[in-house]
Amino acid sequence: MKITDAKVIVTCPGRNFVTVKIVTEDGLYGIGDATLNGREKAVVSFLEDYVLPMLIGRDARRIEDIWQYLYRGVYWRRGPVGMTALAGVDVALWDIKAKAANMPLYQLLGGRSRDRIMTYTHANGSDLESTLKAVEKAQAKGYKAIRIQCGVPGIDKVYGVSKGGKRYEPADGDLPTEESWSTHKYLNFVPSVFEAVRREFGPDVHLLHDVHHRLTPIEAARLGKALEPYHLFWLEDCTPAENQEAFRLIRQHTTTPLAVGEVFNSLHDCRTLIQEQLIDYIRSTIVHAGGITHLRRLADFASIYSVQTGFHGATDLSPVCMGAALHFDYWVPNFGIQEHMAHSDEMESVFTRAYRFDDGHFVPGETPGHGVDIDEAEAAKYPYKRACLPVNRLEDGTLWNW
Ligand code: CS2
Ligand code: MG
């Protein structure tokens, strides 16, 4: 089954998405997401100038060999740009293989391990009152797990909180906009938010929170401890994780479950975190970590150490990634939860989807392949528009982690 064509489709129906499309000699094709938020064109160049020409004439059935060729075979391994490009190719090939077998992708992976996939959504507000309203709305939609982000009194613009009643989209400027941060104000305030949410909504709903890399390890330990009475499902990215050993300190102090890894692109980024059981959930997902082929290895490794998956699923991961992720979630034995931030109607008009939402859960659908397709005519209506992720500064002007 020779590959005869491979191309990249870039579209911006409200935000930029990069899609790899691979076509074989018998007319079967597959697509994969290769979107790297705020750096989309770097991946497009990587694919168009280097990777895609190498695919022509290869046997599309040899997914593993192609993966090794593009990983082991290039001198410059890993990195977000390379691993996102590799993921786009890998998912397109799995899509083709599953279509050729006339099976939904999860069947090829080993069949389903569960009936439905629990997903969490976001509830955010500029103050406590609007945050509580957002939680109520999320529950009304059926979500059983809700990520809570709330504006902090005295801080102007905070991560995860939408501005002016608009949908939350982090890449909000042609050049990076600036947010501000005060650890002191945040740490004093945030436990009271979770106290209020538990008081209002009771013990059943799963609560999550994303610190988005803002704290030092000892500050993260303090927060984890302070949140223990509110039984979080997880506390995410409480400190930057380049230094994996930093999590030893946090772990010694708190039983709040920890999730890390949406910015990781390989198993090597989280080997210590997993092996020493310093985290509970691994967030790395298909599009940024080398596709299904690599994620399968990562998840199997994590399962030995009782670490569960919790795939990143913000809007900057396209419906193509969501479709592939849901097939993976259906199969993977050590599944934890799947993030879901709804795409807009405009975004959904470009991608047809077999996956379905029902009562806080998803199912991937029974369409052969991963069940997501791109309408190229619709995609062409929305040309690329540069959009960058914000940067973050402390109140004295020091550049900080966003
Ligand atoms: C996030 C994202 O969903 C999450 O947990 O951390 O909002 C993240 O900021 C964006 O995906 C960045 O592109
Ligand atoms: Mg996050």
Annotated active-site residue in 122, 212, 288, 361: 212
Probe residue for ligand 1, chosen from 33, 262, 322, 339 as the CB with the greatest number of ligand atoms within 8 Å = 262
What is the pLDDT, as a whole number, of residue 169? Answer: 86
Would you list the domain boundaries of the chain?
3-107, 110-366
Ligand 1 atom closest to 283 (CA): 5
Any idea what the Cα angle at residue 261 is, between residues 33 and 401, rounded to 5°? 105
- Does residue 66 have a pLDDT over 80? yes
C-alpha 85 – ligand 1 centre gap (Å): 19
What is the pLDDT, as a whole number, of residue 332? Answer: 98
What is the pLDDT, as a whole number, of residue 164? Answer: 76
User: 179: Cβ below 6 Å to ligand 1?
Assistant: no
CA dist., res. 285 & res. 292, Å (int): 9
C-alpha 361 – ligand 1 centre gap (Å): 20
Q: How does pLDDT run across 41-56, given as a tens digit for each residue?
A: 999 999 999 999 999 9
CATH superfamily of 3-107: Enolase-like, N-terminal domain (3.30.390.10)
**Is 165 or 161 the better-scoring residue by pLDDT?**
161
Query: What burial letters (b/e) apply to 175-190, b meaning 16+ CB within 10 Å?
Result: ebeebbbbbeebbebb
| Token pair for 82 | 């390379």
pLDDT band at 30 (very low <50, low <70, confident <90, very high): very high
pLDDT band at 78 (very low <50, low <70, confident <90, very high): very high
pLDDT band at 297 (very low <50, low <70, confident <90, very high): very high
pLDDT band at 77 (very low <50, low <70, confident <90, very high): very high
Give mean pLDDT, residues 319-326.
98
User: 37: Cβ below 6 Å to ligand 1?
Assistant: yes
Mean pLDDT over each residue of the chain, to the nearest integer: 97
Give mean pLDDT, residues 380-400.
97
Q: How does pLDDT run across 253-286, given as a tens digit for each residue?
A: 999 999 999 999 999 999 999 999 999 999 999 9
CA dist., res. 295 & res. 285, Å (int): 7
pLDDT band at 168 (very low <50, low <70, confident <90, very high): confident
CA dist., res. 103 & res. 95, Å (int): 10
CA dist., res. 295 & res. 325, Å (int): 10
CATH superfamily of 110-366: Enolase-like C-terminal domain (3.20.20.120)
What is the pLDDT, as a whole number, of residue 115? Answer: 98
What is the pLDDT, as a whole number, of residue 20? Answer: 99
Burial class (CB in 10 A: 0-12, 13-18, 19+), 169: middle
Q: Is 370 a catalytic residue?
A: no
What is the pLDDT, as a whole number, of residue 167? Answer: 80
What is the pLDDT, as a whole number, of residue 163? Answer: 79
- Does residue 288 have a pLDDT over 90? yes
